[in-house]
Chain A
Amino acid sequence: MGSFLARRALMLVAALLVSSFVIFGSLDLAPGDPLATLTGGRTLPPEAVAQLRAQYHLDDTFLVRYVDWVGNAVLHGDLGTSIAFRGSVASVIGARAGVTIELVLYAGLLITLFGVGLGVVSGLRRGALDTSIVASTSILAAVPSFVAAIILLSVFSVDVGWFPELGAGEGFADRIWHLTLPAIALALSAMAIVVRVTRVAVRTEMSREHVQTAVSRGIPSSLVVRRHVLRNAAIPVTTVVGITITSLIALSAVVERAFSLDGLGAALVQAALSKDFAVVQGISLIFVTAFVVANVVVDLLYAVLDPRVAIGSRAV
């Protein structure tokens, strides 16, 4: 387990270093003069230009600026200054991270509850319910989050009026009420995939010899399901739930745009449109870090649930 942890930690650091380099490098070497973006095309007196060059370290070499950027980000939480949002990138992120985190966690909760729940039900009982769950998941898996957003808005906000149309709301209860439709839109297709994987995992475990033996020995089926089926099915299911929830981090940008939520993703898109590179770099770094760390956590969970992984003989 120790060497397994060390290997994962090393991969994590390597992935973060390389991806931060790619994020910083791609935007830094982008075509166009950064000074022109900063001045907005205006002609400034030479001393103002010199001050801007100094403030944004435009005279340093690329590597020096990269090391500065990463160093400041890690040591001081300083990601530079936003041009379009008027303020530090850290404050832009700080003001918006809450909505995104809540949205992703809410969607993750829905995926875990309904995705796994329906998958277990569908896996244990054959019949009309199972068939209809399978049929509806193959359609739901194909509904993009933004189409789901439009349908939910059209039906539940405009037609029925149960939920607010746009915005994130104030206070805890109001926030949950405002984030319900966005969380469903974000969760829907991932939930369908989790249902299908859970169903197959439960079916596979049900047909295993030790389960059949337990059933034939007359052990109550609820006990067999709890002790043998669900415990083993939990291994692939945890991985899929983890991977789908981490994939929501980037997808939140699309849902935030659809519901006019002022979160990190929406700010990232806005910054990309207005070429506010410091913000794009900062939020991309946050997203990639969250994505990579979450993936490592999923890997570790997998190893905890299935000790064979850490020992090295990968379970099939």
Chain B
Amino acid sequence: MSTPAVVLEAARERRRRFAANNLLVISCGVVIAVAVFLAIFGPLLAPHDPNAANLANAYVGPVAGHALGYDSQGRDLLSRLLTGARTSIAGPFLVVLVSMVAGSVLAVTAAWAGRWVDASISTVLDILFAFPAILLAVLAAAVFGAGLTAPTLALAIAYTPYIARVLRGAALRERAREYVDACEVQGLSAVAICARHLIPNLMPLIVAQATLLFGYAMVDFAAISFIGLGVQPPTADWGVMVASGQAGVLQGYPLESLTAGLCIVVVVVAVNLLGERLAADSEAR
């Protein structure tokens, strides 16, 4: 007689966990949607000019009309956070876009062509593994100068082998499936099979990897700006703001660094949790 109660209890527990999980995914989605919205419209929403400095207001706390007060240069902190969303999110987005496209093309080419093409692509990727992302970005900044372009490209190149390695394995498994043979028998070209069937079938994995990668890219991109080789001050950017607020931290005014750091952490947590969920789902398929 006790069995049904146990089963019911287990079902209830499962439902509860499912609901809790969904709530988590929905809240992550909301955070990411807000972040994307701010990346697009943030600069327009800023109530004040993010670069209008007035040293007399330096480190003045929240007052009416300035919800978060002023930063080290007496600029409106809220306006700078809203404006800074753009580079802080668009930069890593570009990194992810470039390395996902490069990684997917390399992985599918290697898996499809096999033999020496696969061997040479894999060797090049193995060697690229020797470069930590941050180091490659510092090198790029040294050669081409600090700024947005060089570190973005360098990070994209540094991440490509990681993406390509995961996707190559999946593409190899996909290539061995029967539908690929069926398409070949029907006379479809390799490019058509890859573009119409193989890559769409890899899409859940690609999206999951891209989401997880965005978290890493956002942290590394902000780190490059923090050490002074990425986005250049006085441009408002979350990584730059953590650095420019550091003097204030030591004087007991941590608001600028902490709020900018918090923005980064909140977005990365949301992206990571969503990415883990997507990765688990794409594995379960």
- Write the residues of chain A forming the contact surface with B, with a CB cutoff of 8 angstroms: 11, 14-16, 18-19, 22-23, 26-27, 30-31, 138-139, 141-147, 150-151, 153-154, 157-159, 165-166, 189, 247, 249-251, 253-254, 257-258, 268-269, 271-273, 275, 277, 280, 284, 287-288, 291-292, 295
Contact = CB atoms under 8 A, between A and B. Distances in A.
Interface residues of B, number: 43
Contact of A150 (B131, B134, B223, B258): B258
B226 interface: yes
B223 A145 contact: yes
Nearest to B225: A146
Contacts of B249: 150, 153-154, 158
Contacts of B226: 146, 254, 257-258
B135 A288 contact: yes
Given A139-B265, A144-B264, A27 B131 contact: no
A196 to B, nearest CB: 10
Contacts of A14: 127
Given A23-B139, A272-B229, A273-B228, A139 B258 contact: no
A294 B223 CA distance: 23
A143 B242 CA distance: 13
B14 to A, nearest CB: 16
Nearest to B238: A147
Contacts of B261: 144, 146-147, 150-151
A254 B264 CA distance: 16
Interface in B24-61: none
A269 B143 contact: no
A254 B130 contact: no
B246 A151 contact: no
Interface string B231-265: 00000000100110110011010100110010011
Main secondary structure of the interface of B (DSSP, over half): helix
Interface of B: 126-127, 129-135, 138-144, 146, 215, 219, 222-223, 226-229, 239, 242-243, 245-246, 249-250, 252, 254, 257-258, 261, 264-265, 268-269, 272-273
A250 B142 contact: no
A52 B257 CA distance: 44
B116 to A, nearest CB: 17
Contacts of B144: 30-31
A288 B268 contact: no
A292 B127 CA distance: 10
21 contacts: A15-B127, A139-B265, A142-B219, A150-B245, A150-B246, A151-B258, A151-B261, A157-B250, A158-B249, A158-B250, A165-B250, A249-B132, A250-B133, A253-B134, A253-B138, A253-B227, A258-B246, A275-B142, A288-B130, A292-B130, A295-B130
A257 B273 CA distance: 29
B96 to A, nearest CB: 16
Contact of B138 (A141, A150, A272): A272
Nearest to A139: B269
